[in-house]
Structure 1
Amino acid sequence: MIAALRRLLLAAVFVGGGTALAAEPLHDDRGVAWRGAPPQRIVSLLPSLTETVCALGACERLVGVDRYSDWPVQVNALPRLGGLDDASVERVVALRPDVVLAARSARVADRFEALGLKVLVFDSDSHADVRRSLDAIARLIGEPQRSAQVWAAIQRDEAAAVARVPARLRGKTVYFEVESAPYAAGATSFIGETLTRLGMANVVPPELGPFPRLNPEYLVRRSPDVVMAVEREAAQMPARPGWTSMRALKTGQVCAFSPERYLLLIRPGPRMGEAALALADCLAALPTR
């Protein structure tokens, strides 16, 4: 009898502790807190956040997305609300969302908040950022256990990708082009961190930041061993002044990705493991020199 009573008391303590823990507010990357029940109407203004909500099993709660969200396919039926800089405030408000998910750079976040909408913003530069936002959104939707499952799947795919990269390429320098200005994925970006895990050496040092704009002459001088870009930009690289002397172009060590594949690579979120596999497959297919 006493033992049974003790078990009941311990159970009450653990349940009480769990309730208290669940009541603790989660915070976005500005420190803004969310207190309350899991939202049932969610607007996402960033593709990676859209994908995160869906990967965590809450796709049916999305009532609107930005113009670029296209995965999974069911989000294509949702209202399109613009982008980071030009989201339609009136249309978002009309959807009566419980919460709006956005990037820190979204210019309309302040206006939404002034109109009484709850906005949570998340950074996505690094793997740590992605893991943190994954954990926060899992808690937000009331499914905290799903975060670890999604992250474990990412890590499994990344480990498989590492095994696919030919030994001859490990330690070779790589330039990943984000935009043709040129903007690069630096060593501290989520793309750069994946490339480092694959055994590549980023031509852009950490001190330049995650996505720096580079002087084209800088890249000519550094002459990376491997270049990665979307197909149309990769095709135009030989016409850029001085780029024909670049080691990667001279030796054919160029990963040119289709637009669809490229979008996968530049989105930080639940498909980063799939992106790592795509990078590894391209590296494995490069001609031997």
Structure 2
Amino acid sequence: MRELLAALLCALLLPAHAVTVRDDLGKSVSFARPPQRIVSLLPSLSESVCALDACARLVAVDDYSNFPEAVRHLPHVGGIEDARVESIVALKPDLVLAPTSSRALPRLEALGLKVVALEPRTLADVRRVLLLLGPVLAARDGTQAWQAIEAELAQVAHSLPPAQRGARVYFEVSSAPYAASEASFIGELLARIGVRNVVPAALGPFPRLNPEFVVRADPDVVMLAEDEANAPLATRPGWQSLRAIRAGRVCRFTRAQADVLVRAGPRMAEGARLMVQCLAGGWRDGGAPR
């Protein structure tokens, strides 16, 4: 009888937590209790864990995760192509969050680790990841976290000066040049704040463009996510004639700002705010939006 009472007491004290989720590879993963030792192998997933108030449970992250500040001091265990599996195993995680494109996935699973593969690429994906991880982590409600993001995003969109609504924007993610099209997460943000992307969705999310494409598009504003010291944009063939170049409507984002902008994660409203600051007159060729 004493043993039965003890078992009943334990059952009452321990919260019920039987959760099964389906990841982006269609694999079902079950949890008997909230994971306490988490390894994240994608910056947007690391940020999602923190947005759900479970940052303290991260025991390692990928080489590019750098937000919030606490994440910088964790062990870094590689990236999509070179995740250090031995180091991950040694940390004894009860959950590994990995992108679907990670080459380490088969090996991590073969070694018996519980892996959830997620790779957010769109606004809908960000919402889905938060709603999926919320019950798994049992910290902050994923729906609540998403609603807070949506509310902030709506507020940011409302702050765009009316004169800038419908402005035609070219957003360059690297100087190859690779651009963010309408189909990308960045393109979705541009649409949400009320401006137009000159790169159509038909070209794919992040197409490599011939510089002549931008000349023909002749955008009102140019946004650059790369902060390296590039040659002046006017030296690119034909670019000296662009209205954005002639008027100085160019924003070069800092590396920290670019991290916010190019990650499909819970800081999307902050990324939208950077765009609005640029469009509201914060452009400085060679400098970040004020």
> TM-score, normalised on structure 2?
0.86
Distance in 1, Cα, partners of 2:229 & 2:184: 20
Equivalent residue letter for 2:163: R
Tell me, in whole angstroms, the C-alpha distance in 2 between the residues paired with 1:44 and 1:164. 34
Alpha carbons 1:65, 1:80 under 8 Å: kept: yes
The CA deviation at 1:249 is: 1.1
Structure-2 separation of matches of 1:257 and 1:85: 27
Between 1:255-264 and 1:229-238, the stretch displaced more is: 229-238
Q: 2:114 aligns with which of 118, 125, 139?
A: 118
**For residue 102 of structure 2, what is the aligned residue in structure 1?**
106
For residues 153-211 of structure 1, the C-alpha deviation after alignment (integer angstroms, 9 at most, x for no partner) is 21122112112212222112111111211111111222111110111111111222222
Taking the aligned partners of 1:235 and 1:52, their CA distance within structure 2 comes to: 36
CA distance in 2, matches of 1:141, 1:24: 10
Ranges in structure 2 where 5+ consecutive residues have no aligned partner: 1-15, 284-290
Which residue number corresponds to residue 183 of structure 2? 188
Of 159, 181, 200, 1:205 maps to 200
SS at match of 2:53: coil
Shift of 1:77: 1.7
- 3-state SS of 1:221 partner: helix
Query: Alignment length, in residue pairs?
Result: 266
Q: Is the 8 A contact 2:19 2:136 kept in 1?
A: no
CA distance in 2, matches of 1:109, 1:188: 27
Give the Cα separation in 2 of the matches to 1:193 and 1:244. 28
> Residue 223 of structure 1: CA displacement?
1.6
**In the alignment, what sits opposite 2:166?**
171
Could you report, residue by residue, the CA deviation over 1:61-118 in whole angstroms, capped at 9, with x for unpaired residues? 1110011111111112210101111111111111111121111221211221222222
d(CA) in 1 for partners of 2:102, 2:215: 34
Structure-2 residue corresponding to 1:95: 91
Alpha-carbon distance in structure 2 between the residues aligned to 1:245 and 1:117: 56
What is aligned with 2:224? 229
**Counterpart check, 1:150 vs 2:153:** no
Give the % identical residues: 51
Amino acid at match of 2:65: S
1:116 partner SS: coil
Q: Deviations over 1:124-158 (max 9, x none)?
A: 21100110011111122124x62122112211221
Cα distance, 1:233 vs. partner?
Answer: 6.2
Letter of the 1:81 partner, please give it.
V
Larger helix share, 1 or 2: 1
Q: Distance in 2 between matches of 1:234 and 1:227?
A: 14
| 1:216 Cα offset (Å) | 2.0
Structure-1 separation of matches of 2:230 and 2:257? 14
* Letter matched to residue 186 of structure 2: I
Q: Which residue of 2 aligns with 1:28?
A: 23
CA distance in 2, matches of 1:152, 1:206: 27
Distance 2:71 2:171 in 1: 29
Please give the secondary structure, in 1, of the residue aligned with 2:166.
coil
CA distance in 2, matches of 1:233, 1:131: 35
RMSD, matched Cα: 1.8
For residue 240 of structure 1, report the CA deviation from its aligned partner: 2.0
Partner of 2:76: 80
TM-score (norm 1): 0.86
Q: Does 1:57 align with 2:57?
A: no
Matches of 1:236 and 1:114, distance apart in 2: 50
Deviation at 1:123, TM superposition (A): 2.4
Greater than 6 Å deviation, 4+ residue runs = none
Q: What does residue 9 of structure 2 align with? A: none
Q: Tell me how far 1:24 sits from its aligned partner.
A: 5.5
Secondary structure of the structure 1 residue equivalent to 2:222: strand
Give the SS at the match of 1:177.
strand
